[in-house]
Structure 1
């Protein structure tokens, strides 16, 4: 079974993948330089739309994108295709439910940020779903590893989101997170999201899926670094031995 399913290389695909690769890497670089700080959570602005509505939309639209992409080949779904498209849907449905019933918001979200994130997530969801029509023909060990990474990532991401939500009180003030992997890193919820996306990539095997994982790594690492710096600026007693995203390493 192939570890990477390569596209058919021609002028169009070379240009498309080159542009996509530049897009994947640029998000993280621009975020790390403060040139593309998406205005939500701790970095929100004082104006915009309702955070709950905005966050719901940016997670709901990718569900539509993924399902539209499968419309033309849904009749040919086998178990592999079904699991992959289910994983994509589960990821975004979970985030929608968190927005509606778990997260607590204290201010608006910038409309441009909603559009940017919704567009990025929708592109990723559409590509993953569309390319799924050329999936591997059976479940193998690497696919099972991907399923485990996806499941662990989703459950642990939810757990750490719950820890963050429980910190928010009526005054909507921020506190130093504790519990779980927060004892070791600033952004364990990002680490677990990366686990889930790596799981999807190992199930899909398409080059684009691995590129989406790199894209997510690039952005979330940059975001985690900025969040880590934000905590150190806001809290004088923030633990010095707490890493950014990978326990004991980074």
Structure 2
């Protein structure tokens, strides 16, 4: 699991050296991404216990997707330097969402206010909704006593 998160964490760390003095929004975005993947690495090392290993066929694409997404968000933010700030500034609500831990990548999207992080967050949300729904159905098929009224994502709704 450490292999999944470390390249993205290192990309976040490297962004501070590669793009110094790019402004507050850039600093907040790079910091949020670096903290997110540091937290994941920390959890792997000191909190979670794993029962088995992941196959390399899964590790490589997942690790690359995290790395490419992180680099893409940082680079997209770099490309916005010099453009006017958005008329509605969402960076501070984004920091609050990120720090509270509710909608981590929604917070990153708000901090960035660039198209790529918003698209990534939207795509990830729909992927996880589908995965949650499929997982709930799997539990229902494997466990006869699994409650029928449990929702996949949003309590009492879906």
Residue 233 in 1 paired to residue 141 in 2?
yes
TM, length-normalised to structure 1: 0.56
Residue 148 in 1 paired to residue 103 in 2?
no
Kept after mapping to 2: 8 A contact 1:66/1:128: no
For 1:64-213, list aligned pairs within 5 A.
Answer: 64-74=10-20, 76-133=21-78, 134=80, 137=85, 141-153=89-101, 192=102, 195-213=103-121
Kept after mapping to 1: 8 A contact 2:15/2:30: no
Kept after mapping to 1: 8 A contact 2:12/2:31: no
TM, length-normalised to structure 2: 0.86
Residue 60 in 1 paired to residue 60 in 2?
no
1-structure distance, mates of 2:130, 2:113: 25
2-structure distance, mates of 1:137, 1:146: 15
Equivalenced residue count is 155
How much has 1:222 moved relative to structure 2? 2.1
Which has the higher relative contact order, 1 or 2, with Cα contacts under 8 A spaced 6 or more apart?
1
How much has 1:98 moved relative to structure 2? 1.1
- Alignment-derived partner of residue 17 in structure 1: none
2-structure distance, mates of 1:106, 1:72: 38
Aligned-partner SS, 1:242: coil
2-structure distance, mates of 1:102, 1:227: 24
Uncovered stretches (5+) of structure 2, i.e. residues with no partner: none
Kept after mapping to 1: 8 A contact 2:95/2:111: yes
- Alignment-derived partner of residue 222 in structure 1: 130
Kept after mapping to 1: 8 A contact 2:93/2:107: yes
Kept after mapping to 2: 8 A contact 1:70/1:129: no
User: RMSD in angstroms over aligned alpha carbons?
Assistant: 2.2
1-structure distance, mates of 2:16, 2:73: 10
Uncovered stretches (5+) of structure 1, i.e. residues with no partner: 1-54, 154-191
